[in-house]
Amino acid sequence: MFLKSIRFKITILYMAILALTLTSFSLILYHNVNVSLNSNMDTLLKSKAGGIAQAIDTYWQAANLEAMDGADASEILRKRRNANFSRIAQRWVKEESTDPKLLDIMVQVFDTDGKAIASSKNIAGLGEIPRGEFIPVLQGKQRFDTMADFRIYTAPVFENEKVAYIVQVASPLGSIKIALNNLKVGLFLLFPITVLTTGVMGAFLAKVTLHPVDNMIETIHQIRAENMMIKLKIPNTKDEIQKLAETFNDMLGRLESAFNTQRRLFADLSHELKTPLTILKGEFEVILKKTRSNVEYQETLKSALEETDRIISLAENLLILAKFDSKEISQKSEKLDITVLLKGITNNVRGLAELKEIMLSFSGLEGLWIYGDPNQLKILFLNIIENAFKYTPEKGRIEVSAVKRNASANISIKDTGPGIPEDEIGHIFDRFYRVDKSRSSSGFGLGLSIAKAVAESHGGGISVQSHPGEGTTFIVSLPLVRP
Ligand SMILES: Nc1ncnc2c1ncn2[C@@H]1O[C@H](COP(=O)(O)OP(=O)(O)O)[C@@H](O)[C@H]1O
Ligand SMILES: [Mg+2]
């Protein structure tokens, strides 16, 4: 679990990134320091070599000061293959190469044959550049070499554009090696210390940041259907974790209200079931008190049958709703003319209208094509029309009409019943909701819930307009088939 925790992953990621950065940084640093130390050394050697050549020349000129008077100075001063010059160079090296200004720099002077004519005392250990590689110098090229812990600079000194002799200076690389070594050790020590410190700090930071998540997990563990009011403590971090907690609480709120609805439904259902069963029981008890006539038995059984029908219809309605809820209901979708369907339904209830002395009218042009399940749509409109009959008093009016509105068919069912109070309109589509339970004994308050479910499953909807005392209009809108 710990190895998979975000805290662990973040920490490892931190450390890996830092290790990578440090490694590349160290490599670049080491490389740059190495290059710059060596190039400093080369510059130093070059300038020393130049200085030495100049000093030897000065020596040479001073030694020949008298000779320069009169005679052909240039011929006498020729250094190339001149034994006198070799001696002077030797003397200079002997006398001056211990000068503290030269530090631990070694000096050698070669003649144009590549033979050493003068060497400082401290050249022990300094290897010799192989003969073959020496030739380019004799021809006028300078060169740098690294041999056996020494950096060596070999450069020709010119006289009349010809090589007169060669100066070679060398310096031990020890100091550079020590400096680089120190750098290496420093970087090696820095690496684990920094990576570890970052790891510890990263782990701590992740722990602090994710602490609210641990709290949330603990609270969530305690949430059950019975105690949905438990809410997460919202951390005031203004970050994703706060957002997560808020979102979770929102979801809990929605779940809580859904659970409450279910609970209310359950209670309502028990109540609705109990009423007809109690009536049945009462009727049976009464009739069983003494011996009755056949007619009386028949009356009671007829009434019992009615109550049983009520229970069956309740069960049927609930079943339809349950199927809509679980999206189990399969729609036999077919292209149908809604005006034709409505005309049929209206004709079927004409008898009822005559019985209640209600004026029933229908208007609408044929050709309002929609896709839908005719059986479900029949249930939808019957439920609404049934209500209109149920709640409209005798000599009232019911008008059914179908019109085209934009891309929809709008079917309105208008009655002259008592209307629905404004504050109840929002509830009439709720399951088991009935405005006035005593208004009518029949019905469970499920008809409109079913109507709404059908309309919505057909991509449409239902709206209501009602003025208490004047009447109610239900408007069902269903999407038309696109031409
Ligand atoms: N045409 C109407 N006129 C007045 N009230 C209505 C009308 N249609 C529905 N209602 C109100 O809406 C409630 C819910 O309707 P419904 O779901 O069909 O349940 P039921 O008809 O079983 O009572 C009804 O109880 C009634 O109070
Ligand atoms: Mg109804």
pLDDT tens per residue, the chain (483 residues)?
A: 677 888 888 889 989 999 999 999 999 999 999 999 999 999 999 999 999 999 888 888 887 776 666 555 556 678 888 888 888 888 888 887 777 666 678 899 998 888 888 888 777 777 788 888 888 988 899 999 988 889 999 999 998 888 999 999 999 888 899 999 999 999 999 999 999 998 999 889 888 888 888 888 998 998 888 888 888 888 888 888 899 999 999 999 999 988 888 888 889 889 888 988 999 999 999 999 999 999 999 999 999 999 999 899 999 999 888 888 887 777 788 999 999 999 999 999 999 999 999 999 999 999 999 999 999 999 999 999 999 999 999 999 999 999 999 999 999 999 999 999 999 999 999 999 988 766 556 788 999 999 999 999 999 999 999 999 999 999 999 999 987
Radius of gyration of the chain (CA): 54
Give the closest ligand to the alpha carbon of residue 434.
1
Domain that holds residue 12: 2-179
Do 251 and 342 sit in the same domain of this protein? no
At 217, give phi and psi (nearest 5°). -60, -40
At 96, give phi and psi (nearest 5°). -105, -15
Ligand 1 within 6 A of 434 CB? yes
Do 371 and 312 sit in the same domain of this protein? no
The protein residue whose alpha carbon is closest to atom 18 in ligand 1 is 447
Mutate to test the pocket of ligand 1, among 265, 275, 318, 391 (most ligand atoms within 8 A of CB): 391
- Do the domain assignments include residue 119? yes
Do 342 and 309 sit in the same domain of this protein? no
359 CA distance to ligand 1 centroid (A)? Answer: 20
Predicted pLDDT of residue 424: 93
Query: Long-range contacts of range 276-284, CB-CB < 8 Å, 24 or more positions apart?
Result: 276/307, 276/308, 276/310, 276/311, 277/307, 277/311, 279/307, 280/304, 280/307, 280/308, 283/307
DSSP letter at 331 equals P
Q: Is 210 helix (H, G, I), strand (E, B) or coil?
A: helix
- Do the domain assignments include residue 219? no
Mutate to test the pocket of ligand 1, among 436, 438, 448, 473 (most ligand atoms within 8 A of CB): 448
The predicted model scores a pTM of 0.60
Do 301 and 429 sit in the same domain of this protein? no
Ligand 1 within 6 A of 451 CB? no
CB 433 within 8 A of CB 427: yes
- The whole-angstrom separation of Cα 177 and Cα 16 is 30
387 CA distance to ligand 1 centroid (A)? Answer: 6
Ligand 1 within 6 A of 415 CB? yes
User: At residue 253, what is the residue type?
Assistant: G
User: At residue 15, what is the residue type?
Assistant: M
Q: What CATH number is associated with residue 422?
A: 3.30.565.10
Do 140 and 79 sit in the same domain of this protein? yes
Give the closest ligand to the alpha carbon of residue 468.
1
304 CA distance to ligand 1 centroid (A)? Answer: 25
Nearest ligand 1 atom to the CA of 437 is 25
Do 163 and 27 sit in the same domain of this protein? yes
The protein residue whose alpha carbon is closest to atom 27 in ligand 1 is 435
- Do the domain assignments include residue 453? yes
Do 358 and 301 sit in the same domain of this protein? no
- The whole-angstrom separation of Cα 397 and Cα 357 is 9
Predicted pLDDT of residue 398: 97
User: At residue 221, what is the residue type?
Assistant: H
Predicted pLDDT of residue 65: 72
Do 62 and 147 sit in the same domain of this protein? yes
- Do the domain assignments include residue 200? no
Predicted pLDDT of residue 74: 59
At 166, give phi and psi (nearest 5°). -125, 135
391 CA distance to ligand 2 centroid (A)? Answer: 9
Give the closest ligand to the alpha carbon of residue 448.
1
- Do the domain assignments include residue 211? no
Do 343 and 310 sit in the same domain of this protein? no
Do 304 and 357 sit in the same domain of this protein? no
Domain boundary, last residue among 126, 145, 179: 179
The protein residue whose alpha carbon is closest to atom 13 in ligand 1 is 434
Q: Is 350 exposed, middle or buried (0-12, 13-18, 19+ CB in 10 A)?
A: exposed
Do 310 and 339 sit in the same domain of this protein? no
387 CA distance to ligand 2 centroid (A)? Answer: 5
Q: What CATH number is associated with residue 246?
A: 1.10.287.130
- Do the domain assignments include residue 186? no
Predicted pLDDT of residue 371: 95
The protein residue whose alpha carbon is closest to atom 4 in ligand 1 is 419
Do 249 and 124 sit in the same domain of this protein? no
For residue 146 the two structure tokens come to 């690294």
435 CA distance to ligand 1 centroid (A)? Answer: 7
Nearest ligand 1 atom to the CA of 445 is 19
The secondary structure element, H or E, covering residue 379 is helix 374-391
Count of structural domains within the chain: 3
- Do the domain assignments include residue 202? no
- Do the domain assignments include residue 138? yes
Ligand 1 within 6 A of 435 CB? yes
Domain boundary, last residue among 156, 179, 202: 179
Domain boundary, last residue among 263, 291, 325: 325
Nearest ligand 1 atom to the CA of 448 is 17
